[in-house]
Structure 1
């Protein structure tokens, strides 16, 4: 099996890290936005006018 130079290993490592971070960021925003919309629909707000 041919050996890779250290520079290629670093480039490969950085590529995988960037892809992983992109995946994490995209899933975080899609999941958190979906949960916020569901929470707004499920919470009922009772507004009461207080008179003193």
Structure 2
């Protein structure tokens, strides 16, 4: 099985390090995704007062 050259290992390390850093940066600076309106807030429940 052939061995990888040291420069190839360095390229892989740089590539994955930059992708990890970009992933953290995008997660930090992009606003979180919120749905427009939750479904349960549209439902109005009537409170029934039972008089037995």
Please classify the TM superposition score into its range, dividing by the shorter chain length: 0.5 to 0.7
1:44 and 2:22 equivalent? Answer: no
Unaligned runs of 5+ in 2: 43-52
Q: Which structure has greater helix proportion?
A: 1
Q: Point out where structure 1 has 5 or more consecutive residues left out of the alignment.
A: 1-13
SS at match of 1:45: coil
- 2: CA distance between counterparts of 1:46 and 1:32? 22
Aligned counterpart in structure 2 of residue 28 of structure 1, from 8, 15, 18: 15
- TM-score, L = length of structure 2: 0.55
Structure showing greater radius of gyration is 2
User: For the aligned residues, what is the CA RMSD?
Assistant: 2.2
**Moved >3 Å (runs of 4+):** none
